[in-house]
Structure 1
């Protein structure tokens, strides 16, 4: 996967995240629930913490600090994406970067990350999430899969010179 494809995947991921969040903000009211399928609804919420609301108490009212910390980690992952020797690993890192950028944009624009996807079973709800979170999770799965011994033997290693 070339550097151009990495940048394109990052851009597409960030754009998809921001477009879906804009639609959620335009069409949903805070804490309104719109059933879509059994076990899945749309519910607008905002997260000041990290993934799944962790650190919300610590980071409440500190969106610039959270954006800076996330931005630093995102920069590291972007460098890793360009330097990674395996295409599947590069794609995974690009998904993580694109998703992280989408959430950073929210923090800088509105002080919190827009979440709107709600999975549940009866009275149990998974923490509300967004397209950026899906991209980050899929990216992490790709990175883990790329590190499996059988996968490493089959996937070509890119020449870094």
Structure 2
């Protein structure tokens, strides 16, 4: 009896979710460790200049990116927590279905880790802890954290993966 040889392409769903969940876990761990450190060392709005264009500062964001809906009275905490949990569940589903697509899964793992890191903040503190403050020539950018950084890098990798897929 002849056996069929299995072949897997880069679009295959073969492989384990474990490495991708491991990457997400590392993002969550680093994010939470840095936030715990900042919370122990800084008071709210305390600034420590690091360079002429970068400060460490403890600020809280009850809204979403760039403080979107930050002044809405509290309902947004539950709304963004629910969105984060829903996104995390959907990402785990996508990781399971597409675990053989390396770049796509890197993107998803980083976004998953960042989303869960910020959900933890909302559950524990009621708002997201931000501490990375970049500024240049009088222009200050909104403070952010490692979870936000992972989400942005993941989004960029997602776009790159999509561009690669379209060009094939």
Q: Does residue 1:135 correspond to 2:150, yes or no?
A: yes
Pick aligned residue for 1:41 from 52, 55, 65: 55
Alignment TM-score, normalising by the size of structure 1: 0.87
Q: Does residue 1:147 correspond to 2:146, yes or no?
A: no
Pick aligned residue for 1:122 from 125, 128, 137: 137
Does the 8 Å CA contact 1:6/1:82 hold for their aligned counterparts?
no
Alignment TM-score, normalising by the size of structure 2: 0.84
- How many pairs align? 152
CA distance in 1, matches of 2:167, 2:32: 34
Between structure 1 and structure 2, the one with the greater Rg is 2
| Aligned pairs for 1:2-151 within 5 A | 2-58=16-72, 60-62=73-75, 63-84=77-98, 86-149=101-164
* Cα 1:87/1:30, change in 2 over 3 Å: same
* Cα 1:19/1:151, change in 2 over 3 Å: farther
How far the C-alpha of 1:66 sits from its partner, in A, is 2.2
**Unmatched 5+ stretches in structure 1:** 154-161
Q: How well do the aligned residues superpose, as a CA RMSD in angstroms?
A: 1.7
How far the C-alpha of 1:77 sits from its partner, in A, is 2.1
SS at match of 2:142: coil
CA distance in 2, matches of 1:56, 1:111: 12
